[in-house]
C-alpha cells in the first residue's frame, strides 16, 4: 500500500494549528492600588508564609479571615507557574505575615495568589504596607480589617464632624496688625441638643471658656451632616442653610460658598492616622494659587483655622486657631499651634489701648537675633518694657529712664513663636506690639 505524502506533513500541520500554551510573566512593577486590583469576591486573609514547597506553591497559615471565610488553619497558595497568571511567590518571605487576596483554584484548601497587580501586602509593626486606596499609603491592620468593604470600593467612610462625641479647643481672640493690641483666650466647643428647621435636624453648637468644662452657652450656631463628607450650617438670618465643608473635593477643585467662588482651592489630599488608629482624609487648602498661604482641613475635625467658619481661614486680624481635638474625651489631634503654645488650653494676657503720647516701633519683625525698640516720641516719665511669651510669661524685661530713645533684647535663645512687647507706666499697660520670633 502506497503511503500518501500528506501523512508525512500531518504532524507539521497539527503543530502549526495547535493552540499555544498560555504563559504569563508577573514580575511587576506592582504599583496598582490595592482597592483597584482586588474585587469584593476575593478571599482576603491575614496569613503567615510557613514554607515554600515549590517555586510556585507555598503553605500559608490562616491567621485571620478578613473578607469571606476560609475554613482551614493552613492552606496551599499557588503563584506563577508559567501557565497560570499568578504572582511570583519568590517575592514573599518565609515567616513573614501578609494580607493576601486569593481566589479558589482546585479545592477549598488550595487558592491562587492571582493577577499581575499586587495582591499581597506585608504587615510590619501592625501596619499594612503599600498603596491601599488612592492617596493613602500604609494603614493600620485593624483599620483595614474593620473597613474592608469601604476599602474594596475604593472609598473610606469618613468620621462624623457633627457629633456629640467631638470636642474642639480653639485659641480665639483678636489683635491689630497696626498697633499690636489684642486679647487671646481658649474657647471650647461641642455639639449638644438639636433644632429642626425647614424639615432638617441641626445639632446646636455650644461653647465655654471654662477649662473644667462648666458654664456652657449656646453659640447660636447649628450644623448638620448631609451626604458623606458634607457639612451644612443653618443661617437663621436667611432661614436657610449653607455648605461649609465638602471633604470629597479633589486636588485642583475650588471651594464654593453661597454659589460663589471663594478663592480657596484644594492643593493636595492625603490621609493621617490618629492615635486611636483611625484614618482621616486631610486636605491642604490654599488661598488662590498661592501655595504659601495654606491651612489643613481634616475630615471629622474641620479646618485647623476658623474651624466653624472655614471661609475665614485666612483672616489676618483674628486668632481662630485650633489647638486640640477630642473624641469621647480622648485627645486625638494636637496642632502645631498647640505645640508652640505648650498645651490645649491657654489664656494669654493681651495689650490694652495704645497711649497717644508715645510713638514707638519694634523691629525687625520677624526677629531672629536682636529685637530693637525705638521711641520716635519718647515718654517724659520712666517706663518698663516686658517681653511676654504666648503663655503670658515674662521672658525679658528692663526699666527705661525718662526720654529714653532706644532699647534692645537678645532673643537668640527664645523658642520660635508669637510674642508680645508690653510698655508699662507705673504698672499700667500703655502700649503693646506683637512680634514673631523666627
Q: Which CATH architecture has domain 359-437?
A: Sandwich (2.60)
Overall pTM surpassing 0.75 (yes/no): no
pLDDT at 352 over 50: no
Higher pLDDT, 140 or 400: 400
At 19, is the pLDDT very low, low, confident or very high (cuts 50, 70, 90)?
very low
pLDDT at 417: 75
Of 390, 402, 395, 400, nearest in space to 184 by CA: 390
Number of other residues whose CB lies within 10 A of the CB of residue 374: 14
Residue with grid cell 471633604, as numbered in its chain: 247
* 3-class DSSP state of 197: strand
Percent pLDDT > 70 in the chain is 79
Q: Which CATH architecture has domain 34-127?
A: Beta Barrel (2.40)
Cα–Cα distance for residue pair 140/409, rounded to 1 Å: 49
| Neighbour-count burial of 227, counting CB atoms closer than 10 A to its CB (0-12 exposed, 13-18 middle, 19+ buried) | exposed
Domain ranges of the chain: 34-127, 166-341, 359-437
Phi, psi of 261 (to 5 degrees): -65, 135
Cα–Cα–Cα angle for 190, 195, 229, rounded to 5 degrees = 60
The mean pLDDT of 174-180, rounded to a whole number, is: 53
Using left for φ > 0, alpha for ψ between -120 and 50, and beta otherwise, residue 95 falls in left
* 3-class DSSP state of 78: strand
Amino acid at each position: 500500500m502506497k503511503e500518501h505524502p500528506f501523512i508525512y506533513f500531518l504532524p507539521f500541520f497539527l503543530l502549526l494549528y495547535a493552540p499555544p500554551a498560555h504563559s504569563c510573566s508577573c514580575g511587576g512593577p506592582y504599583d496598582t492600588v490595592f482597592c483597584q486590583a482586588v474585587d469584593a469576591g476575593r478571599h482576603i486573609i491575614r496569613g503567615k508564609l510557613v514554607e515554600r514547597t515549590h517555586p510556585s506553591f507555598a503553605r500559608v497559615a490562616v491567621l485571620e479571615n478578613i473578607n469571606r471565610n476560609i475554613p482551614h488553619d493552613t492552606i496551599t497558595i499557588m503563584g506563577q507557574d508559567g501557565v497560570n497568571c499568578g504572582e511570583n511567590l519568590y517575592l514573599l518571605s518565609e515567616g513573614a505575615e501578609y494580607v493576601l487576596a486569593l481566589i479558589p483554584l482546585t479545592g477549598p484548601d488550595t487558592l491562587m495568589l492571582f493577577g499581575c497587580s499586587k495582591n499581597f501586602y506585608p504587615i510590619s509593626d501592625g501596619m499594612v504596607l503599600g498603596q491601599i486606596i488612592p492617596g493613602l499609603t500604609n494603614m493600620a491592620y485593624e483599620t483595614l480589617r474593620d473597613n474592608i468593604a469601604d476599602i474594596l470600593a475604593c472609598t473610606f467612610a469618613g468620621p462624623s464632624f457633627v457629633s456629640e462625641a467631638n470636642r474642639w479647643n480653639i485659641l480665639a481672640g483678636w489683635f491689630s496688625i497696626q498697633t499690636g493690641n489684642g486679647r487671646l483666650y481658649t474657647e471650647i466647643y461641642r455639639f449638644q441638643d438639636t433644632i429642626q428647621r425647614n424639615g432638617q435636624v441641626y445639632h446646636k453648637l455650644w461653647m465655654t471658656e471654662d477649662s473644667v468644662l462648666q458654664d456652657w452657652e449656646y453659640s447660636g450656631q447649628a450644623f448638620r451632616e448631609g451626604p458623606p463628607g458634607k457639612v451644612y450650617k443653618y443661617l437663621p438670618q436667611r432661614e436657610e442653610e449653607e455648605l461649609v465643608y465638602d471633604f470629597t473635593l479633589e486636588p485642583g477643585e475650588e471651594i464654593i460658598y453661597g454659589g460663589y467662588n471663594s478663592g480657596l482651592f484644594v492643593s493636595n489630599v492625603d490621609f493621617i492616622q490618629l492615635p486611636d488608629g483611625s484614618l482621616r482624609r486631610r486636605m491642604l487648602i490654599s488661598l488662590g494659587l498661592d501655595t504659601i498661604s495654606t491651612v489643613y482641613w481634616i475630615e471629622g475635625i474641620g479646618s485647623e483655622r476658623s474651624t466653624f467658619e472655614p471661609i475665614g481661614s485666612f483672616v489676618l486680624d483674628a486668632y481662630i486657631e485650633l489647638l486640640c481635638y477630642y473624641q469621647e474625651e480622648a485627645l486625638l489631634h494636637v496642632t502645631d499651634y498647640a505645640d508652640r503654645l505648650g498645651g490645649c488650653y491657654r489664656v494669654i494676657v493681651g495689650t490694652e489701648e495704645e497711649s497717644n503720647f508715645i510713638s514707638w516701633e519694634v523691629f525687625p519683625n520677624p526677629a531672629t537675633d536682636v529685637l530693637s525698640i525705638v521711641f520716635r516720641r519718647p515718654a517724659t516719665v520712666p517706663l518698663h518694657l516686658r517681653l511676654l511669651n504666648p503663655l503670658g510669661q515674662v521672658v525679658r524685661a528692663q526699666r527705661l529712664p525718662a526720654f529714653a530713645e532706644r532699647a534692645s533684647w537678645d532673643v537668640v535663645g527664645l523658642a520660635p513663636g508669637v510674642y508680645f512687647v508690653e510698655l508699662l507706666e507705673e504698672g499700667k499697660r500703655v502700649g503693646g506690639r506683637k512680634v514673631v520670633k523666627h
